[in-house]
Structure 1
Amino acid sequence: MTEKLVLGLGGTVDYEIGWDSSVIEGLITHYSIGASELTTSIAIDSERDLVVSLLGFMKDGVGGERFVASSDIVEQFASRFDKRITLGGTPVRAAMAMSALGITCTVHLVSIDDHVRRLLPPDCAYISSAVRDTTDPHLIVQFGQGAHVRSGDIDLTAPHPNRIIYTNDPPNRELVLSDELGEVLQAAEVFMISGFNVIQNAAVLDERLRTLKTHMRGLPPHAVVYYEDAGFHVPALSQRVRDALLDVIDVYSLNEEEMQAYVGRPLDLLDVDEMVRALGELHAAIPAKVLVVHTKYWSLAWGDGAGAFEASLRGGITMASTRYRTGDGFTERDYLDVSHLPVNPHGAAFAESIEGAVGSAVCCVPAFVVDVEHPTTIGLGDTFAGGFIAALARSGLPQRPLVP
């Protein structure tokens, strides 16, 4: 069934580093970094800039993705820590999550190397536009709630667990599409689009969007097109993607940080009145057929027919929560165990209230209570997408049932 679910448009090789406050504190001293410098918006042209950026994210307890001027900066910083080499990118992580449930797919890649060949699930097919092997690692730094850094006048304790991605990845920045994509899409039941956020050149972006829409002409009329948003390296380019694709997207998905960036302010995710206003503003900015927003307390679909996605929202929450709890290599049994956890009472109250306030135009599902000492914060949005699409597949495609 690999051809029924097609996930694009690019994968990555990731360096996941183990958090070590003593190393960070040493770098603060080495580079004479002061508290007044900490910001998440600095251009990252050196290792010093990367540390300033990382501490800015930690101070706010938020995650994000940032471009670095050179992969050498990634290599330099990563060499100071214990690291794990894994695969990333929304389509690849989604595919790996789905594989745990025995659901197969075809992934579109723009780069390939021995790490990808070794780590991609054997039941996952792929097509690739790469003409040679390349490795441009993404640095992923995650910190736990309560992680503490103290050096000079800097004294930070992370209020929430999160992750930051630093990258310089030419193949994903170019995002060349495989000539095979159009043929593969002819049998697709679900097509996931992601990855345009890395492109930094408007002319390149416009050409890739035109090419993608040409490939998409072969999609069956009943196919569901799912778009997963992400932090754009050049924020102004995100509007070009929406202008080009909104008419062919069925489900437009984003996380709480991206939602807050679009509305331009922090939000109380449990305040129903505030969220109704914000979701109205979000829909005005992104007039998609159905908006999906996934957060740590709840996930919801907003738009006509939102209720049809209840099972998919639940599948996304369960898959992301399983990764948060278990990390890489989780099993179907882990997924089932998480599905029986109690739901977050604050999320449940919010879900009931917003559905009462808005009616059938919203469907909201609360998150689970997941208490774990060392959570995995990397790839939760990607894994949510995999769980969402897996549930779509189970509702409309012949797949084996979950283990009893």
Structure 2
Amino acid sequence: MSILADRVVPALLGPDARRLVVATWLGQLTDGLALVSAPLAVASLTRSPFLVALAVALHRLPVLLLSPYAALLADLVNRRFLVVTADAARAGVLLVLAGLLALGVAPVALLLLAMAGLGLLETVADSARGPLLPMLVRDPAAQEVVGARLDGGFVLGTQLGGPVLGALLFVPGAAVPFAVQAVVLAGAVALLSRLRVPGPSRGPLPPGVRHPVRSGLRRIAVDPHLSGLVLVGLAAQAAWAAGWSLLVVYAAQQLGLHEVGFGLLVAAGAAGGLAGVVLRPLVDPLARALPRLTPARLVLAGLALEAVGHLTLSRLHTPWIAAATLAGLGALGFVAADLARDLRRRRTAADGTSDVVAAASTALGLAATVAGCLLGGVLAEIGGISTPYAGGAVLLAAALVLLGRRSAAL
């Protein structure tokens, strides 16, 4: 057993880094459980698609609005204390939710408020957790080892295993997955509390990048080709969020699936994203072999296929075809987004604004996610659960036209 443990989390990393890896894995599993338990809980208490989508939007809203302030707080306070406090508070909120759900006295309004609170605490914890790895592991090679372990935990815990397990735990009762999340997170807190981490160590940013998002937005605004590329990415993000936020309702109403089926749909989309990671390195040799197959045209093709996928989902009633479509969308979404990032970096490499444009694009992507969730909820209320997916196809088609007109310069 010790040999297996040493292979998974090498002892050469030191005890603190090993605790950080295991604690992060537990947090990633908690995030995977939350991906399905929160929408299932809200959907079990209301028939309103908008409220289900609102729960997802409220969970992401603090990341959009408060990330810079959370990062500033992480620079001023001991990071271990901040992570432990935020994660302990998350565990407390989850435990209270589990108790109220078990008693059957948890109103929808309370669940929505809890989603916003959990999103806020998660934002604070993640902002403080990020710098812990380089502070505990100085060797770049060891950092790569730890990074690979954390990436694996994200795939297995957050994207694949967590959603399926969360759906299975929901079957005996809505309170169960929340109670399990609280226990798992408490284990992470116990490990993190034993870390020996120095206090704030990062200095102030240079004056030129003190406001990276603002600087990036200005750079995007003055370049019509770059702004078109960014707008296309926002359209794709909003279309994805509109359907993803209502997947639990779609699974129940259009596909006739219960909790476990919903969890498997989430896992299918994640598996498609992993397939996209594998396929992405194959795209560049293909583009070099076929000169007419430029990166911009590949992005256009990806957008067109994504639009077809969303339109297909709006018409489907067969679960396994829907799962395959979601997997395909996951793969296409990753490849198209990565190609678009490459185009954006190429466009900004000459003037050294790649980092600030990336920061602005990330902030805009979060805004598009929140807007897409709300738009999907409104469309579902007006036209039924298939409407957000059809609306996503229309949005992607509009983005296709926009990028098509500007692709020659990319």
TM-score, normalization by structure 1: 0.26
Larger Rg: 2
Larger helix proportion of the pair: 2
TM-score, normalization by structure 2: 0.26
Larger strand proportion of the pair: 1
Q: Relative contact order: is structure 1 or structure 2 higher (C-alpha 8 Å, sep ≥ 6)?
A: 2
